[in-house]
Chains A and B, each alone.
Chain A
Amino acid sequence: MDLNKIQVSPKKRTPWQAVDVGFKMATQWYRSLFILYALPFFLFSIGIFLVLSDHPIWAGLIIWWLKPLFERAPLFFVSRALFGEVQPVKTVFNQWLKILKFDWLGSLLWRRFSFTRSYDLPITLLEQVSGKTRAKRLRVLHQQGTSESILLTMMCFLSVFVFQYALIALLALLVPIDYFGDVFNWYSSNSIHVSYYQIASVLLTVSIIEPFYICAGFMLYINRRIELEAWDIEISFRNMLEKEKYIGAGKLPTILVFGALLVGGLTFSPTPVYAQSNDLEHQVLHNDFDQVNNKDEAKSRINDIFKGEDFTNEETISAWRLKSFEYDGDLNWLEKLINAFGRWFEKHFANSGSGDIEVSGYLNNVAFIIKALLISALLIVISILIYRYRTNIAYLIGYSKKLPLNNSTKETNTLFGLDVTQESLPENIPEEVITLFKAGNTRQAIGLLYRATLSKLMTEKGFRFDESYTEGECLAVVTQGDDNSLTGFISDMTTVWQQLAYGHVQPTEETLNTLCNRWSGVFSNAE
């Protein structure tokens, strides 16, 4: 048993979590487990059926009684596989009888009805203890996980039943509806075939479920041992030893000066740099780390800081709420109104003379009012909807050729943090750009040109950008416009801007001049 090769992530779990990990483990090696369980089980069952062919009930009982013996081989396999030693099925079969031998009588007689079977089997099979030692060991293990292992057995038992009914139900669901009854008649008849069918389906479902049952019980056992023997801690301690830097370090006193460095490093926070911002200098946030001398002073300062802007978040929410009120008037007027309406209705529409006009007439009136109200509400809703979507409807019935786009009239004022309103731009843009560039403010120069480009695209060329657009998306919008010279310019402009803004690549003066000239060609300069 090499703990370092354990295939389950080692940690202390609750018993239910251990059961779930057991299910995972069963799916991991399901094929081997199924063969190891089902092959001997089926062969044995067929043998018993051949011998006792006239008494399927007895045969079934014997098979059920001997069932625990077949659980040993899969458990043996999974106990090896857990520590990374996945044996071929054949190797396990070679040792099958040897695995079976230890303490077999007990598991068939006085332990046959034990509900904690899957939890206890590892002690018999893997620890090879019996008698008093076993009982002592069980007492330790059973301090936890007992109820879970009992419930596990019960749930698996239940599943066998449910699965077996599911098989017949599936059959019934798949036959044509006319024969539906026949299936049930056949199933409820006492024929020997039905017995065989039932027993075969039980055998099948038992072998499907058993690997899960075995693994879940085994994992309960392993989990208890992880807890009792602290496997997970042992494994992490061994991992610690492999980190060479720890060795010997613990014996020398070391002084850590990280604290001071850390505080110094955190107080600088870079502010975002935009091309339009004149102020490129880094802002240094000040933290005063003055000495605080006594407890009260510290407390009051902490309170001050908590009252500050960073720790409070006030929101004003206004909404309609139902006021609590008491209605002290009476609803007589409503009753009178209904009655008046009822009388009017009776007079004009109801066929008077019928005997129970008093009661049913009144009820009819109420119903009529409600009906009228509902119908008018419906009409109102429909007309509101028609009015709301009138343009879309006009488009749908072919009356109008234009599908109304999302005609939000909101102007876009900023794009990726750049102010693109026309008011923010100077009069003569190329001139201003070149002046800025000559003064060494490359960033501002290109930024201004790009902003002006975007602004003109929106005001002059009528493109529409959302505030959420990126440079690439703006370019894509322009590309759709089918104006090749414009697209070419915007594409070059965007590249230059992106290289400067994100790549910090300075454009040459020549590039800038070309861009300015092209700009003047594409857009009219504001006069």
Chain B
Amino acid sequence: MYLINTEYKVETPEGVDLTAELAGPIPRILAFIIDISIRFGVIYVFYLIFQSLNWTVGPVFIAYFLLEWFYPTLFEVLYRGQTPGKRIVGLVVVNDDLTPVSWNSSIIRNFLRTVDFLPVLYVGGLITMILNPHYKRLGDLSAGTIVVYKNRTKDSEQLPKVKAIAPNLTLELEDQVAIVNFTQRHSEFSSDRAQEIANILEPIHGLQNKNAVNHLHGLGKWYLGGKD
């Protein structure tokens, strides 16, 4: 059964599955607005300096040209796929095999902004992005790049204070993950809800309510490497 999601999967030749979450239009518009504000800010400061010194404003236009065309490329390649705007929103540009973006693809994707800009103000790019299953605009399509979320390292969550319990049956990986999730996210849902969920597994662990929750927390702690 097909489930709606934004997951992007790549299998490496070694058989390792890499996954990433694709980033859609709204966060990308936001990142773009931040970037363009930065660019205009820089140009405006430049202009003010030149004007106050009574210099010719020609170089300001050259600076504008350079920033407009090379700001995204330079940042994407030299700054691990992130312009400042993307960094703030937490996005990153990668090749569509999830390798870091190269000069080649970054230049193609950013120079084709001109096409995405048509008819005006990036409407073409926006429409393509919404219609494409991988949220690619035309520049992304031709350069073979995607925009995904960068995983942020979370602070280690406070685990429940229970003793780790060695599991006495081998669970499949996905089931282990479910129990680990149950343990890590214990502070997010109410204790009533936790008991309700833990009771679902009664046929497996044979416990109820508080005991069931504690048992599952213990297992989760074990799977996370806690041994005491």
Contact = CB atoms under 8 A, between A and B. Distances in A.
A6 B120 CA distance: 39
Interface stretch (B73-81, B155-163, B202-210): B202-210
Contacts of A248: 203-204
Interface string A243-266: 100111111111010000000000
A188 to B, nearest CB: 16
A151 B131 CA distance: 22
A237 B120 contact: no
B100 interface: no
Interface string B161-183: 00000001111101101100110
Interface residues of A, number: 56
Contacts of B24: 19-20, 23-24
State the main secondary structure of chain A at its contact with B.
helix
B203 A166 contact: no
Greatest chain A CB density within 10 A among B171, B189, B197 is at B197
Nearest to A154: B30
A343 interface: no
Interface in B1-26: 3-7, 21-26
Contacts of B25: 23
A411 B222 CA distance: 60
A163 B123 contact: yes
A478 interface: no
Contacts, number: 150
A212 B129 CA distance: 13
Interface string A265-301: 0000000000000000000000000000000000000
A170 B6 contact: no
A229 B3 CA distance: 20
Contacts of B49: none
B84 interface: no
B194 to A, nearest CB: 8
Nearest to B22: A20
Nearest to A237: B200
B183 to A, nearest CB: 10
B171 to A, nearest CB: 7
B50 interface: no
A38 B5 CA distance: 26
B174 A151 contact: no
A448 to B, nearest CB: 35
Interface stretch (A10-18, A54-62, A383-391): A10-18
B22 to A, nearest CB: 7
A150 B119 CA distance: 28
Contacts of A20: 6, 21-24, 26-27, 135
Contact of A24 (B6, B172, B182): B6
Given A17-B6, A20-B135, A237 B197 contact: yes
Contacts of B227: none
Nearest to A26: B130
A227 B178 contact: no
A238 B200 contact: yes
A248 B194 CA distance: 22
B121 interface: yes
A497 B102 CA distance: 45
Contacts of B89: 16
A233 B135 contact: no
Interface range on chain B: under 10, 10 to 19, 20 to 34, or 35 or more?
Answer: 35 or more
A229 B189 contact: yes
Interface string A418-448: 0000000000000000000000000000000
A21 B182 contact: no
A111 B178 CA distance: 39
B154 to A, nearest CB: 11
Contacts of A25: 4
Given A233-B181, A233-B197, A240-B178, A16 B149 contact: yes
B120 A169 contact: yes
A17 B197 contact: no
A230 B204 contact: no
A166 B120 contact: yes
A8 B6 CA distance: 10
A249 B27 CA distance: 47
Greatest chain B CB density within 10 A among A12, A21, A27, A237 is at A237
Given A155-B29, A236-B174, A9 B119 contact: no
A166 B119 contact: yes
A467 interface: no
A33 to B, nearest CB: 13
Contacts of B23: 16, 20
A165 interface: yes
A169 B119 contact: yes
Interface of A: 6-9, 12-14, 16-17, 19-21, 23-25, 27-28, 151-152, 155-156, 158-159, 162-163, 165-166, 169-170, 173, 212, 216, 227-230, 232-234, 236-241, 243, 246-254, 256
15 contacts: A13-B21, A17-B149, A19-B24, A20-B27, A159-B29, A162-B122, A162-B126, A227-B185, A228-B189, A229-B193, A233-B181, A237-B200, A240-B171, A246-B171, A248-B203
Interface of B: 3-7, 21-27, 29-30, 89-90, 118-123, 126, 130-131, 135, 149, 168-172, 174-175, 177-178, 181-182, 185, 188-189, 193-194, 197, 200-201, 203-206
Given A237-B201, A246-B171, A248-B203, 11 more contacts: A16-B27, A17-B6, A20-B22, A27-B131, A162-B122, A165-B120, A166-B121, A234-B197, A236-B181, A250-B169, A254-B169
Shortest 3 CB-CB distances between A and B: which pairs? A20-B24, A236-B178, A169-B120
